[in-house]
Chain A
Amino acid sequence: DAGITQSPRHKVTETGTPVTLRCHQTENHRYMYWYRQDPGHGLRLIHYSYGVKDTDKGEVSDGYSVSRSKTEDFLLTLESATSSQTSVYFCAISETQVGLDTQYFGPGTRLTVL
């Protein structure tokens, strides 16, 4: 199993509160990703990183920001959480670009915004 952990695993917060989710990997992989999973939508890419301090937006990036100051950590921040951000969030890693390599996923974080 790929060494990917996510913290917290569950979180309940209130609308307007800032929230940070952490993804930690022990594989030294260059690429890291944040997805959200919602019923009927499968997984959708929020942001991704292709190296330390190198990040870019995915298809559903509004309301989210990310940071990567170390190879092993990729943080996802909801600056002011809204109920529409209630979801399950998955972190993924790949050694090279997806397609040339395979993405492996973390265990997920279930976030509820009240």
Chain B
Amino acid sequence: AQKVTQAQTEISVVEKEDVTLDCVYETRDTTYYLFWYKQPPSGELVFLIRRNSFDEQNEISGRYSWNFQKSTSSFNFTITASQVVDSAVYFCALHYTGGFKTIFGAGTRLFVKA
């Protein structure tokens, strides 16, 4: 079965704290793609990153970093020195090539307090 689990429903941190959002996926496919999207309070979905299953290099983009580990089927997202503007719902998603389908996790709501 193809599945994405974001076990953290809500996380609350104080500004400048580091926070990691967990994403665990299940797939039988050897070729697949993983995504993170941000949904701020305004409601739109903002693309953050795409990673394919053959590229396990970690990625850093400013305060954002992603840790992809095939051995544990995880694709975790860390925000360093969080800011109030990071408050949003974050979705992890899996696209597998065995079927034309992108599976989204249920999302993690992040609150960053000033």
Contact = CB atoms under 8 A, between A and B. Distances in A.
Given A98-B95, A99-B33, A99-B95, A108 B44 contact: yes
A41 B95 contact: no
A58 interface: yes
30 contacts: A40-B106, A42-B91, A42-B104, A42-B107, A43-B91, A43-B93, A44-B104, A45-B101, A45-B102, A48-B100, A56-B100, A59-B101, A90-B45, A97-B100, A98-B95, A98-B100, A98-B102, A99-B32, A99-B33, A99-B96, A99-B97, A102-B47, A102-B50, A103-B35, A104-B47, A105-B37, A105-B45, A105-B47, A108-B44, A108-B45
A53 to B, nearest CB: 17
Contacts of A104: 47
Chain A interface size range: 20 to 34
How big is chain B's contact interface, by range?
Answer: 20 to 34
A112 to B, nearest CB: 15
B44 A105 contact: yes
Interface in A24-47: 40-45
